């Protein structure tokens, strides 16, 4: 219980920092020329924008808080709480423009939080041993699934009309973030707590590649078209859903099961997804500010 009391506030703090970072990144992405998906040159351009540099600081703080939370509580608990980052995005945007969020936005924010609370209360996630990724076969299956999912998204971004292009890019970014969170949690579950032993784990080097690639794809999604807020919503929803799958399939984490329990979990997650996308649809576009 003590770990839960410490881990949950850390996850919520990470969500707030991610929300603020996303706001700054969305603005900065509109100040540089558009690049093709996956081109590192975009990050080199963004580094020159002061607002984006501040967003990187906030993202680093959020990442550190997320890692701390994952060391204390299950991945399935931490990642859904990060959905509240979009609520912070909406509220911070309104505050930065000296506006009051309209009542419907506050209602949708409340629905999002209610759905999260219901899911966590019903699911009652428990921490596993994380042994799944110690097997080469299991790790390879995760890698293949990740590459396949991201590849399909990138092909979709090329094939779809410009109006819809941000969504597959955001889906790919959210998938990278979700798997990255799973790898971080896996590292924290290693039997040897020795800090130096971490450098002998393959997950650390996968995180070093996958994390920045997810950031790059998210910037591509912000740049790709007018659907900036829905792109953020897609990332926000995809991240915890992928994390839940990784936690259940690879990290031995558990949630409550049974016909009525599963129904309650599904209804709660659907309510969260609906609230997040409704929030994004009503959120002001930073590009118009």
Q: What is the pLDDT of residues 169-213, one digit of tens each?
A: 989 999 999 999 989 888 776 645 456 667 778 888 999 999 999
Of 93, 85, 92, the closest CA to residue 232 belongs to 85
Burial of 256: CB neighbours in 10 Å, binned 0-12, 13-18, 19+: middle
pTM across the whole model = 0.83
Return the ∠ at Cα 226 (arms to 36 and 216), rounded to 5°: 35
Question: How many independent structural domains does the chain possess?
Answer: 1
Contact 116, 241 (CB under 8 A): no
Contacts of 171 (CB under 8 A, 6+ apart): 153, 234, 238
The length of the chain, given as a count of residues = 289
pLDDT at 288 over 50: no
The mean pLDDT value for 77-96 works out to: 79
Are the beta carbons of 65 and 89 closer than 8 angstroms? no
Q: Pull the structure tokens for residue 154.
A: 């990138």
Q: What is the mean pLDDT of the chain?
A: 82
Residue 97's domain spans which residues? 2-288
Q: Higher pLDDT residue, 255 or 287?
A: 255
Q: What is the largest CA-CA distance in the chain?
A: 53
Per-residue pLDDT, averaged over 86-101, amounts to 75
More confident residue, 3 or 210: 210
Provide the token pair at 77.
Answer: 């608990």
Question: For the residues 135-159, what does the mean pLDDT come to?
Answer: 91
> Would you state the pLDDT for residue 287?
39
């Amino acid at each position: 219980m003590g770990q839960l009391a410490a881990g949950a506030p850390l996850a919520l703090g990470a969500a707030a920092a991610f929300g603020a970072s996303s706001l700054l990144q969305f603005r900065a992405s509109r100040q540089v020329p558009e690049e093709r998906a996956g081109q590192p040159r975009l990050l080199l351009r963004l580094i020159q924008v002061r607002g984006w540099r501040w967003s990187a600081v906030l993202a680093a703080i959020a990442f550190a808080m997320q890692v701390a939370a994952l060391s204390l509580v299950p991945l399935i608990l931490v990642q859904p709480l990060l959905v509240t980052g979009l609520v912070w995005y909406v509220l911070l945007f309104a505050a930065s423009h000296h506006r009051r969020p309209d009542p419907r936005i506050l209602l949708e924010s409340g629905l999002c939080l209610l759905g999260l609370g219901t899911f966590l209360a019903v699911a009652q996630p428990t921490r596993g041993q994380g042994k799944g990724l110690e097997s080469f076969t299991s790790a390879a299956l995760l890698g293949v699934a990740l590459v396949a999912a991201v590849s399909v998204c990138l092909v979709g971004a090329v094939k779809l009309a410009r109006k819809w292009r941000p969504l597959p890019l955001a889906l790919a970014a959210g998938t990278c973030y979700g798997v990255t969170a799973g790898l971080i949690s896996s590292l924290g579950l290693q039997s040897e707590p020795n800090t130096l032993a971490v450098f002998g784990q393959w997950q650390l080097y996968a995180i070093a590649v996958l994390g920045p690639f997810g950031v790059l794809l998210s910037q591509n999604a912000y740049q790709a078209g007018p659907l900036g807020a829905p792109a953020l919503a897609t990332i926000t929803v995809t991240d915890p859903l992928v994390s839940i799958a990784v936690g259940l399939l690879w990290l031995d984490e558990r949630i409550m099961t049974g016909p009525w329990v599963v129904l309650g979990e599904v209804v709660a997650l659907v309510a969260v997804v609906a609230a997040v996308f409704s929030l994004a649809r009503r959120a002001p576009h930073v590009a118009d500010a």
